[in-house]
Amino acid sequence: MELILQGLQADFPVLENYRLVGMLTEGDVLLALHKRGADVPVGQVMRRQFVVARPEETLVE
């Protein structure tokens, strides 16, 4: 939460057993805080569908 409030990072990967299972964005966090409070689990707020890239891909791809 501190990173979001300080503006240092806007998107956060969510890992389970070292595997990427979701992404949590600044907007997701702020909306959840406003609507549901701080006690909502990350798993209920994170995005499960998102675009991914491999290290060897170019920015155009």
**Is 58 contained in some domain?**
no
| Rounded Cα–Cα distance for residues 2 and 17 (Å) | 24
22 within domain boundaries? yes
Asked if the model's pLDDT at residue 2 lies above 90, the reply is no
pLDDT tens column, 15-24: 999 999 999 9
Residue 35 placed within a domain: yes
Q: Does the residue 40 lie in any domain? A: yes
In a domain, 56, yes or no: no
pLDDT reported for residue 7: 74
Range of the domain at 29: 2-44
- In this structure, is residue 55 part of a structural domain? no
Question: Smallest Cα–Cα separation from 46: which of 26, 17, 60, 61?
Answer: 26
38 is a domain residue: yes
Q: What is the mean pLDDT of residues 46-51?
A: 92
Q: For the chain, what is the domain count? A: 1
Rg (CA), the chain: 13
